[in-house]
Amino acid sequence: MAIRERLYPDQESAVIMVRHCADARYVWNIGLEQRNLWVRHRSARVNYHSQQKELAEARRETWLGQGSSSIQQTALRDLNQAFQNWWENPQHFSRPTWRKSGLHQGFYVRDLTIKRINRHWGEVFVPKCGRVPFKISRQWSDIEATTSARVTLDRAGRWHVSFTAPQPAVARTKTGVVIGLDMGIAQSVTTSDGNHLSMPKLLSSGEVQRKRRLQRQMARQQKGSHRRVRTKHAVAVLAAREADRRKDWIEKTTTDMVREFDVIVIENLKVKNMVRSARGTIEKPGKSVAAKSGLNRSIHSQAWGTFRQRLTDKAGAATSPVEIIVINPAYTSQRCSGCGHTTAKNRKSQAVFVCQSCTYTDNADVNAAKNILAAGLAVTGRGGTLHAPPTLSTDQAQQPDEASRTEQEKAA
């Protein structure tokens, strides 16, 4: 994990660090272009060592020599590592892509040097900037043990330094309790024991209105103008505030779950597929495009992927073992947790579930969470209230692919 602390550079250091971000981004993009051209034309082989030699020559003859050599060399090293990760594990890592101004604002600091000033403040050495102060909010022992850091500038204009460190241990005792989690939109997380965990409103009503007003104003302003830059920054401040509150809720919720449960069963949600646009093509235009866009925004706001990642990280670092089981989400919201009968008609509405076979009634999200738990127990062979394979209704058996494709969206 990364220990992220707020960085407070002076005006001169901030200008230099912006230059570091641009240099790292430029070197990354040039190196990526060289590798892409080599793949297309099969000319002279391009690798990390050849690019380091070319970088040294470019620093002697171009404006790159005015920047930090360590920052630029680290950018090439990161590019090479990104390609290595992609080649070795293409299922988990994607092909390296371009870095863009305003979006990828950061650089790595190797040969890290940090110093503690007092209880609340520390200093990190940044090339060509000297020692830059940062606020300490974590255990100093965790920060002191790190060997590298990444300095980033977020869209709200805040500087951060992230220290690479292992996930700190989550203190817990064995409870013997197992739980199933159903991720949703109306209720962020629903547990198989009937509890609903809802993410609080990330922005107040006044902040939401202000954000919409600023976005409309920015849409009418001329690109490149100073007024548009100021408006864009005001929108970014609100977006950063929203992201901070979301992250805070996820961190607290996942920590509580790891402490309370020995086995946690979750769905393997393909979020990237779920948030695809319904716009379609000119020949085959989509239906309910605006409604689907709203659903996509709601899914993104819940940050299911981040929730699952942090839950997995903390479970692996718990002082007492916590097992995370991931199951196929197909039909979990349509299957009756009482008799196993499966049909789309079982779900009367977003919140009401009534089985057409045994008349079992429950909250739709709680019923789905119970099915998730049962599937997880079946995978591990722990036993529990399990059912035979679901009995599909006639209409669902005729269109299994469509039901499977829309299952995750209905579960939300």
Over residues 136-182, the pLDDT tens digits come to 988 888 888 888 899 999 989 999 999 987 777 888 999 889 999 99
Asked whether residue 190 falls in the same domain as residue 159, the answer is no
Asked whether residue 262 falls in the same domain as residue 144, the answer is no
Give the pLDDT score at 403: 42
Res. 383: pLDDT tops 80 = no
**More confident position, 373 or 285:** 373
215: in domain = no
Overall number of domains in the chain: 2
Asked whether residue 179 falls in the same domain as residue 71, the answer is no
- Average pLDDT over the chain reads 87
Q: At what angle do helices 48-61 and 69-88 cross, to 10 degrees?
A: 160
Which of 48-62, 89-103, 120-134, 374-388 comes out lowest in average pLDDT? Answer: 374-388
| Alpha-carbon torsion (86, 160, 109, 35), positive or negative | positive
394: in domain = yes
Give the separation between CA 347 and CA 367, rounded to whole angstroms.
Answer: 10
Asked whether residue 382 falls in the same domain as residue 255, the answer is yes
214: in domain = no
Give the pLDDT score at 381: 67
Question: Above pLDDT 70, what percent of the chain?
Answer: 91
Q: How confident is the model at residue 382 (pLDDT cuts 50, 70, 90)?
A: low
Give the pLDDT score at 354: 92
Q: Give, rounded to a whole angstrom, the gap between the first and last alpha carbons of the chain.
A: 29
Contact (Cβ atoms closer than 8 angstroms) between residue 277 and residue 289:
yes
Strands (E), 94-158: 106-109, 114-116, 121-126, 130-135, 149-153
Q: How confident is the model at residue 405 (pLDDT cuts 50, 70, 90)?
A: very low
Question: Averaging pLDDT over each range in 154-168, 221-235, 263-277, which range is the top one?
Answer: 221-235
Give the separation between CA 11 and CA 22, rounded to whole angstroms.
Answer: 17
The domain boundary, picked from 166, 184, 207, lies at 166
301: in domain = yes
Contact (Cβ atoms closer than 8 angstroms) between residue 253 and residue 166:
no
What is the residue range of 321's domain? 172-198+241-412
Reported as half-sphere exposure (CB side, CA atoms, 13 A), residue 109 has a value of 25
Give the pLDDT score at 398: 38
Asked whether residue 324 falls in the same domain as residue 392, the answer is yes
Phi/psi at 312 (nearest 5 deg)?
-65, -40
Question: Above pLDDT 90, what percent of the chain?
Answer: 61
pLDDT in tens, 188-223: 999 999 999 999 999 999 999 999 999 999 999 999
Q: Mean pLDDT throughout 379-397?
A: 47
pTM: 0.81
Q: Which residues contact 33 (CB under 8 A, 6 or more apart)?
A: none
Res. 104: pLDDT tops 80 = yes
Asked whether residue 263 falls in the same domain as residue 386, the answer is yes
Give the pLDDT score at 212: 95
182: in domain = yes
Asked whether residue 139 falls in the same domain as residue 183, the answer is no
